[in-house]
């Protein structure tokens, strides 16, 4: 296997954190500001006061869970709680504790063997971004006028800017008019708060590359790239990769792309993508009739899911995914069940814990790096934004301890067995609402079987002669080998045999 992704990614257990909602620390110098009550329902514009010192103070919790890498939603100065509206790319938001808090988090995380990947928003900035604001003030007199896509009539003051749209501009945008003419500049998805960079401008490219280099030199372990395909320029991402890797050859570069991504995964741009192409069939199969389509369809990328699927269709879709890319890409993918951009998995399946447990077992035995969204391990639910971005409840009486124990056990199983991380993958069975596969490395083979049905199911799969496998996770009965491995799996459960 030719490795282009960092070798450590295959062994990583990621944990995604939305910084405003994970943990507050009294150490934050802004702790005297007025924030929303921590346990109150999340709002679109409100701040709970989570910070990076708070993340650092909870590293022991994460280490005990088995986490080896963090993916943080954006942390740079911004006037939004999600911080995808970047004001200043060179400074950590003071509400998160500033640069000192990131330095402290990196130092403490690295001491515990936990890597930290940051969210890079390089397609668009914000209305408060200095260079953009400079043009709003100075028009065509600004030396930054080619940093974004501007309407010439606004640049020459023949028309007013619509950066904060009035009724007329809102009506134009709602009617489908492009933001360039409706408000005077190109914006991501025509959202006035998100002016899109003109990455054809050499000064813009150099600025963004320098930002990427700056934080890699600071000590971060990689970049998750927001809406990466919106920068429709292979040469941009090729140079981005070259400059990041020149500083840290082990830096992980993973892109937010929701569909097949051959173009970007040739080894010269991204190491991997957030693997929503696996998330979708996982939700459809393991839900087994528990899908809440009203909740699921709050995320437009899930509109193609209309019902649960059977084991055979699931197996075919997994085979398709496994065949899409070279093995080194497949084994570096970021696999996830949910994120800040989706309803939480539990809400998508009507709160059914068995669906979540089955999906976890699959994810932690599947090639690629599994990523837990903060709080899923203790049973957090939530519909689409803002409800999928609730504050983490540090009152342990609110935790689902059984679910937490289940997650810890699965993570430990993956970490203790290289075959579950690096082994070959083989489909074994896909019928009667049961899907089974094997992971093999050297002379070690695991058989993983998942029964989504409401009744026990007996299956028989090909197996090496002379082996007498036993369950190392979950339950199976009537295990018998007569040239094939035969066993019975309880309803709505999974088992790992070795």
Instruction: Dihedral sign for Cα 424, 425, 426, 428, please.
Output: positive
According to DSSP, the β-strands at 69-72 and 14-17 are parallel
What residues form DSSP beta bridges with 481?
Answer: 485
Question: What is the SS3 string spanning 118-176?
Answer: EEECCCECCCCCHHHHHHHHHHHHCCCCCCECECHHHHCCCCCCCCCCCHHHHHHHHCC
**Residuewise pLDDT in 10s, the chain (498 residues):** 455 899 999 999 999 999 999 999 999 888 789 999 999 999 999 999 999 999 999 999 999 999 999 999 999 999 999 999 999 999 999 999 999 999 999 999 999 999 999 999 999 999 999 999 999 999 999 999 999 999 999 999 999 999 999 999 999 999 999 999 999 999 999 999 999 999 999 999 999 999 999 999 999 999 999 999 999 999 999 999 999 999 999 999 999 999 999 999 999 999 999 999 999 999 999 999 999 999 999 999 999 999 999 999 999 999 999 999 999 999 999 999 999 999 999 999 999 999 999 999 999 999 999 999 999 999 999 999 999 999 999 999 999 999 999 999 999 999 999 999 999 999 999 999 999 999 999 999 999 999 999 999 999 998 765 578 999 999 999 999 988 999 999 999 999 999
- Angle among Cα 75, 129, 391 to the nearest 5 degrees reads 30
- Cα–Cα dist 271/249, whole Å: 12
> Would residue 226 show up in a list of annotated catalytic residues for this protein?
yes
* Report field, pTM of the whole predicted structure over 0.95: yes
Q: Can you give the pLDDT at residue 1?
A: 45
Return the closest-CA partner of residue 255 out of 242, 243, 264: 264
Let me know: does 139 contact 246? Beta carbons within 8 Å. Answer: no
Comparing C-alpha atoms, which of 318, 367, 325, 364 is closest to residue 10? 367
CA torsion through residues 240, 246, 247, 250, sign: positive
Q: Is 256 a catalytic site residue? A: yes
Q: What is the dihedral of CA 38, 44, 46, 49, to 10 degrees?
A: 50
Please name which of 332, 326, 318 lies closest in space to residue 426, comparing C-alpha atoms.
Answer: 318
Strands (E), 362-416: 369-373
Asked if 185 contacts 148 with a C-beta cutoff of 8 angstroms, the reply is yes
Q: Residue 232: how many CB atoms within 10 A of its CB?
A: 9
What is the C-alpha separation between 372 and 494, in angstroms, rounded? 19
CA proximity to 321, closest of 362, 380, 293, 287: 362
Instruction: Check if the beta carbon of residue 78 is closer than 8 Å to that of residue 84.
Output: yes
The pLDDT assigned to 462 comes to 86
CA-closest candidate to residue 297, choices 284, 288, 312, 314: 284
449 near 435, Cβ under 8 Å? yes
Catalytic pick among 57, 93, 169, 226? 226
pLDDT digits (tens, 9 = 90+) for 43-78: 999 999 999 999 999 999 999 999 999 999 999 999
Choose the catalytic residue: 57, 256, 328, 433: 256
């Amino acid at each position: 296997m030719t490795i282009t992704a960092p070798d450590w990614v295959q062994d990583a257990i990621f944990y995604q954190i939305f910084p405003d909602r994970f943990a507050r620390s009294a150490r934050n110098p802004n702790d005297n500001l007025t924030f929303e009550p921590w346990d109150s329902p999340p709002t679109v514009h409100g701040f709970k006061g989570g910070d990076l010192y708070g993340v650092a103070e909870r590293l022991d919790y994460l280490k005990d869970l088995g986490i080896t890498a963090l993916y943080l939603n954006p942390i740079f100065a911004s006037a939004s709680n999600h911080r995808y509206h970047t004001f200043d790319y060179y400074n950590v938001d003071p509400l998160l504790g500033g640069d000192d808090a990131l330095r402290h988090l990196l130092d403490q995380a690295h001491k515990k063997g936990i890597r930290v990947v940051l969210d890079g928003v390089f397609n668009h900035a914000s209305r408060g971004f200095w260079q953009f604001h400079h043009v709003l003030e100075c028009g065509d007199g600004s030396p930054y006028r080619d940093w974004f896509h501007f309407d010439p009539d606004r640049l020459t003051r023949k028309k007013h800017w619509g950066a904060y749209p009035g009724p007329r501009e809102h009506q134009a945008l709602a009617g489908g008019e492009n933001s360039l003419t409706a408000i005077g500049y190109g914006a991501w998805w025509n959202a006035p708060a998100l002016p899109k960079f003109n990455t054809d401008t050499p000064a813009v490219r150099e600025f963004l590359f320098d930002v990427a280099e700056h934080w890699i030199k600071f000590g971060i372990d990689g970049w998750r790239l927001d809406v990466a395909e919106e920068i429709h320029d292979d040469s941009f991402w090729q140079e981005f990769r070259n400059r990041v890797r020149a500083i840290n050859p082990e830096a992980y570069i993973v892109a937010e792309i929701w569909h097949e991504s051959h173009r970007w995964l040739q080894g010269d741009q991204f190491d991997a993508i957030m693997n929503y192409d696996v998330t979708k069939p996982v939700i459809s199969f393991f839900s087994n009739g528990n899908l809440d389509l009203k909740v699921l369809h709050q995320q437009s990328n899930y509109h193609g899911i209309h019902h649960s699927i059977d084991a055979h269709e699931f197996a075919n879709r997994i085979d398709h995914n496994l065949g899409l890319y070279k093995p080194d890409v497949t084994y570096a993918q970021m696999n996830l069940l949910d994120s800040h951009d989706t309803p939480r998995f539990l809400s998508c399946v009507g709160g059914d814990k068995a669906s979540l447990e089955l999906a976890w077992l699959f994810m932690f035995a599947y090639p690629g790096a599994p990523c837990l969204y903060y709080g899923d391990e203790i049973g957090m639910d939530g519909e689409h934004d803002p409800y999928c971005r609730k504050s983490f409840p540090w009152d342990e009486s609110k935790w689902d301890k059984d679910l937490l124990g289940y997650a810890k056990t699965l993570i430990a199983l993956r970490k203790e067995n290289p075959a579950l991380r690096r082994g070959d993958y083989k489909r074994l069975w896909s019928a009667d609402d049961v899907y089974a596969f094997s992971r093999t490395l050297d002379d070690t083979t695991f058989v993983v079987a998942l029964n989504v049905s409401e009744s026990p199911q007996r299956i028989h799969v090909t197996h090496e002669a002379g082996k007498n496998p036993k369950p190392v996770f979950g339950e199976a009965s009537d295990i018998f080998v007569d040239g094939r491995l035969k066993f019975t799996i309880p309803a709505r459960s999974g088992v790992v045999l070795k």
